[in-house]
A and B are shown apart, each in its own frame.
Chain A
Amino acid sequence: MDLLEFARGPALQWSVSIFIVGVLWRLLGVFLLRSKKDLSEPRNPAAWKGLRLIALRSWPRREFLEGTAFGEVMGYAFHVGFLVSLFFFAPHVLFFADVARGLSGTDLQGLIGFRWPTLPNGIITLLSAISVAALLAVLVHRLVNPVKRLISNFDDYFSWFVTFAPLVTGMAAFAHLAGWPYERLLAYHLLSVELLLVWFPFGKLMHAFTIFAARGTTGMIFERRGASL
């Protein structure tokens, strides 16, 4: 078995399994904890309206913007670049279609009911490049900003690495980096994605899920009290 076969075969199966089991374990480990009923008389009985905090908190209030604008803009830049190239790069969509066919016996289009759109390679390349640049900027910021440097730990740096690696290996594979065989680059790319999947449940990448729970919970508690959201 060569490296690419390994990356496409057992490594993929294992990493996806660890990802799924790990994510479920961590989410259940939290959601199955008891939650005491709040007996105070609500100011706003429709506490669910506080779920709007999930959307509201996506951008800071005007009062907080000055000190946080850099983090917000860079954060959006790498998230958008990362997610768009993940889901709308034509070879990725083909890969997902392949996996979907393997799992369900039907093609992706049949599975989701519409044709999954893709974006031109030029746009994907540009977005990936922005994402890489933004990730480098946030890494430097983490190293030089006294607040971020103090509160950072292994998770912050390793999570950064496993996010950065697939972008770089992906771009290298796409560009057929001079002198390297495409298969090897593709294998590296796959392996870096698999590393991300394996690390995902254990570190802060989990915020992709917990962000909704945390914002929603706070929103409902605060809305019930009529407190500022």
Chain B
Amino acid sequence: MTASTGQPHTRKPEPLEFDKPRVSIATPEYRYDMQGEMPEAERVERAMKSFVKDFGRTAAIYMESCIHCGMCAEACHFYEVTKDPKYTPIWKLEPFKQAYKREYGPFAVIYRALNLKQKVTVERLQEWQQLIYDSCTVCGRCSLMCPMGIDIAALVSQARHGMYAAGLIPHELWSVTERARLEGSPLGATPKVFKDRLEWLSDDHEVEIPLDEPDADVLCAMSSIEIMKYPDSVVATARIMNHLGVSWTFRLDGYEATNFGLLSGNAAAQKLLTMKIVDAAVACGAKTVILPECGHAYTALRWMGANMYGQPLPFRVMHIAEFLAEQVREGKLRLKKVAKSATFHDPCQVVRRGGAIEAPREVLKALGVELHEMYPTKGTNWCCGGGGGVVANHRADELRYKTFKLKMEQIEATGAELPVTTCANCRQTFDDGQAHFKWDRKMHSLLELVADNLIEDES
């Protein structure tokens, strides 16, 4: 077993790779990574403290309810493709369940006095790093299976807080989170880079891209994957907003919706990144913040944003697909018909966990495509395998490719011509999988499909 021991504030983030099918950080394969120098006992102490810090009623109810029926395994793509029992969703939380019973549950005194549950050791946490980060995309499919109704995915997110505090997260996730915290973007889309890109895109594509407007009804944000790898999505956003005649802007003080704080378990960074967008929206008086095609960005602002802010957000938060669907519904967005068949890959955080289940389908309907749904679809669709920071984590590649086969089979079975999704992270997972398997199917962006089919001479 090897470990990399880095010091968070002295070690520099690794260089980025832009020429690969996905933007990522080059790191050798480690069994587990460690950040910072601290005694082992302190790591465990920190992990457990942080884990129980936010331990409210909901998490405790979940911890008390598991009957070890093992059914959640059947829902998890990592188990499905490997049949390895260690990928059973609830097993990924074993040390934290152990810690809960011993340190926090109603009978903790008895467990401790009789030593019925062992103290969690640093070795155990190190061993579990792979389960909590490499083999969980926090997709929440298991949460739909559990007969007790336990939201296992939510517990994994909570366990990541503990792992972050202990300095026990995959180094790439730590590194991109640090980059986001220090430079404003996990993948190098710093304010300067973003500004330069906007100028370049505006010239190249002859599209007006408002930046830093002091007043705007709508604030748009992008994900760093789009800015660095899919800049057409930035152009598509601008085209659609201009076409609709919306008063909108990008702002350099809050343009980056990617939130690696959420994925890595660094709650402070999560808040910092969320607050940038909140403050930017407040500064320009935006009534609506439109989030890009990014799943976890939606969770971070739409469902967790107000809780980070400490009060209800003074604006509406919408995923771009929800915004497009609303415009279609109101008759403001008319689209040319795409005479093709399509299938829709449901991004877990937008659809299953986010609740925007029908919006992307309404937009596809407006595009006139013949929709061939996958099986399973919507809430129970299989995850692409790259969510929850997994695609950013090189050592998880081999496992991720195995899960990607599920997606390929599902898509092939629909016979549809166009695979479409509405998450740039899913998209780069597909691009990477496509390259790996030399697959002949290319994932498309719903947003770009809409921008390419606007009826320009309208109104």
Contact = CB atoms under 8 A, between A and B. Distances in A.
Contacts of A40: 302-307, 312-313
Interface stretch (A84-92, A95-103, A220-228): A220-228
Interface in A92-147: 145-147
A221 B58 contact: yes
Nearest to B63: A30
A182 to B, nearest CB: 35
B61 A30 contact: yes
A225 B353 contact: yes
Q: How large is the interface on A (under 10, 10 to 19, 20 to 34, 35 or more residues)?
A: 35 or more
B86 A150 contact: yes
Interface stretch (B43-51, B65-73, B419-427): B65-73
B151 A63 contact: no
A207 B86 CA distance: 24
Interface string B51-63: 0001111101110
B70 A214 contact: no
Contact of A64 (B75, B317, B353): B75
Interface in A53-71: 53-54, 57-58, 60-61, 63-64, 66-68, 71
A31 B57 contact: yes
A227 B447 CA distance: 22
Contacts of B369: none
A228 B105 contact: no
Contacts, number: 175
Contacts of B61: 30, 210, 213-214, 217
Given A61-B380, A67-B74, A207-B65, A38 B85 contact: no
A46 interface: no
A214 B351 CA distance: 22
Interface in A22-40: 25-26, 28-31, 33-36, 38-40
Contacts of B352: 227-228
Contacts of A210: 61, 64-65, 148
Given A26-B64, A214-B65, A218-B150, A151 B303 contact: no
Interface in B297-334: 302-307, 309-313, 316-317
Given A150-B86, A202-B107, A214 B150 contact: yes
B379 interface: yes
Contacts of B449: none
B95 to A, nearest CB: 13
A60 B142 CA distance: 12
Tell me which of B148, B313, B376 has the highest count of chain A C-beta atoms within 10 A of its own C-beta: B148
24 contacts: A29-B60, A30-B57, A36-B54, A38-B306, A38-B307, A39-B310, A40-B305, A41-B317, A60-B145, A60-B147, A67-B71, A68-B71, A148-B70, A150-B86, A151-B85, A151-B91, A207-B65, A207-B148, A211-B148, A214-B149, A217-B61, A219-B149, A221-B58, A225-B354
Interface of B: 54-58, 60-62, 64-71, 73-75, 79, 83, 85-86, 88, 90-91, 94, 105-107, 110, 143-151, 302-307, 309-313, 316-317, 351-357, 375-376, 378-380
